[in-house]
């Protein structure tokens, strides 16, 4: 009878300590996530020929391999890409641009809702409607791919207007 | 110029339209498999180069060829490869036909074969 009592007591103690241990782990995990939020960020990505991409952002949240940047400004050579959010895989350097994606270059402006970007292959692409202006040339389409080096844009389902004189 | 196509490639000094290309300019329409629009320094089109199943329509004039170049500034259209023009019942076929729009003049050249012209007499 006494032995049974001691066994129950031991079991209760074990349960109490393990619950505390699990709670502390969760607290630790939360802390890790919060500590990795940085403000006023700049990331520079280098390739064989030196600086290839520069990414600035308002805040950067980092968890596992996923980097999330608010209000990113991504630059390469003469081109600047902005959006509301950038979700990027740190290892593959591929990312998703979400919300008001705008790409600006020498007398060139492209706007779409969402897009993808590959900082290794130096390309950006999207499947939604877009508008592209190059001086007086206005091009609407659905689906695009931009090669940054050398620069080239491919647009699908095109409707365009060009002013000649 | 307004345009439609399956896809478009945008390079620094040109636009390449591909697949069911239709371009409209004033009252004229150009159709082809592929059209390259050459841009000047201010990115304004100054020449069109059309390739494959080229069809050009303008105010009752119909032109066809395998290849065509349209100089937008000089208003000269150069048709090459089985070129054919139909206008007011008159037909001209040759290897090359050059249309000088401003001068309202047309030159047909036969390289491999002779120039062929068909006139339809008006009924009296």
Tokens of A17: 């300590």
The residue extents of the domains of chain A are 1-32, 36-163
**What ipTM was reported for this prediction?**
0.72
CB distance A160–B15 less than 8 Å? yes
CB distance B6–A157 less than 8 Å? yes
Domain A36-163 top-level CATH class? mainly beta
Closest CA to A134 of A154, A114, A157, A104: A104
Which site among A145, A162, A163, A165 would you substitute to test the B interface, given the most B Cβ atoms closer than 10 Å to its Cβ?
Answer: A162
From the list A134, A153, A162, the residue facing B1 with the nearest CB is A162
C-alpha R_g of chain B = 15
Tell me the per-residue pLDDT of A21-72, one tens digit each, with 9 for 90 and over: 666 655 555 444 444 667 778 888 888 878 889 999 999 888 778 899 999 9
Nearest CA in chain B to A140: B4
Tokens of A51: 């600086």
CB distance A162–B45 less than 8 Å? yes
* Mean pLDDT score across all residues of chain B: 89
Kindly list the residues from chain A whose CB atom is less than 8 angstroms away from the CB atom of residue B17: 158
Mean pLDDT across B26-33: 92
- For residues B45 and B30, the answer to whether their CB atoms sit within 8 Å is no
From the list B8, B11, B44, the residue facing A160 with the nearest CB is B8
- Tell me if residue B1 falls in helix, strand or coil: coil
Residues 6+ apart with CB under 8 A from B81: B65, B66, B67, B95
CA B16 – CA B36 distance, rounded (Å): 4
Provide, rounded to the nearest whole percent, the portion of chain A with pLDDT above 90. 48
Q: What is the DSSP letter of B43?
A: S
């Amino acid at each position: 009878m006494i032995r049974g009592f001691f066994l129950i007591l031991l079991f209760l103690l074990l349960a109490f300590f393990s619950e505390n241990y699990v709670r502390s782990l969760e607290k630790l995990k939360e802390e890790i996530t919060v500590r990795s939020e940085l403000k006023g960020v700049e990331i520079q990505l280098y390739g064989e020929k030196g600086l290839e991409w520069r990414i600035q952002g308002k805040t950067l949240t980092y968890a596992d391999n996923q980097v999330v940047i608010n209000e990113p400004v991504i630059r390469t050579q003469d081109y600047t890409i902005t959006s509301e959010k950038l979700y990027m895989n740190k290892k593959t350097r591929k990312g998703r641009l979400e919300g008001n994606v705008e790409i600006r270059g020498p007398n060139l402006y492209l706007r779409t809702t969402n897009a993808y970007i590959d900082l290794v292959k130096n390309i950006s692409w999207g499947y939604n409607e877009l508008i592209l202006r190059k001086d007086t040339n206005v091009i609407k389409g659905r689906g695009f791919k931009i090669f940054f080096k050398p620069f080239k844009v491919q647009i699908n389902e095109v409707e365009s207007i060009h002013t000649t004189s | 110029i307004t345009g439609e196509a399956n896809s478009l490639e945008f390079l620094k000094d040109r636009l390449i339209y591909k697949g069911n290309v239709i371009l409209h300019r004033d009252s004229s329409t150009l159709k082809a498999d592929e059209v390259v629009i050459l841009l000047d320094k201010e990115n304004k089109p100054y020449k069109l180069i059309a390739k494959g199943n080229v069809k050009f329509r303008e105010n009752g004039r119909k032109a066809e060829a395998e290849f065509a170049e349209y100089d937008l500034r000089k208003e000269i259209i150069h048709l090459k490869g089985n070129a054919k023009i139909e206008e007011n019942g008159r037909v001209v076929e040759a290897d090359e036909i050059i249309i000088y729009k401003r001068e309202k003049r047309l030159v047909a050249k036969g390289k491999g074969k002779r120039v062929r012209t068909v006139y339809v007499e008006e009924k009296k």
